[in-house]
Homo-oligomer: A and B are copies of this chain.
Amino acid sequence: MVNYWDGHLDRVFAALSDPTRRAVLSRLARTRPLSVTALAEPFDLKLHTVMKHLDVLADAGLIRRAKTGRTVHVEIADGSLQPAVQWLQRQERFWSASLDRLAVYAEARERKAQDKDR
């Protein structure tokens, strides 16, 4: 379970580490399903390269592809960015809590020092 999950996050973050793949996701987030040709159009890349990026995004579960006749349509997979967001926010929550504990500790030390000086 942990391994599956870890492997899934590996693939999601690796998929997001490329600017073209992030641009593809941004475009899909703003536009309803697009054909692969329409999606590839603004990028100065060969269709083959775009297809490879789409494979990486699909393997990470971030996009869905569907074939209608001879046209492949691509759309962002609903909620698929959530595990990444949750992982990041969990770290930030722990980090803030740990900073709070440090502040409490520093204040307690400060008070103790002042009490001594009296």
Contacts and interface: CB of A to CB of B under 8 A. Distances in A.
Interface stretch (A26-34, A40-48, A66-74, A107-115): A26-34
A38 interface: no
A84 interface: yes
Nearest to A30: B94
Q: Which of the four size classes fits the interface of chain A? A: 20 to 34
B98 A29 contact: yes
Interface of A: 6, 9-11, 13-14, 16-19, 22, 25-26, 29-32, 76, 78, 81-82, 84-85, 87-89, 91-92, 94-95, 98-99, 102
B10 A19 contact: yes
A88 B98 contact: no
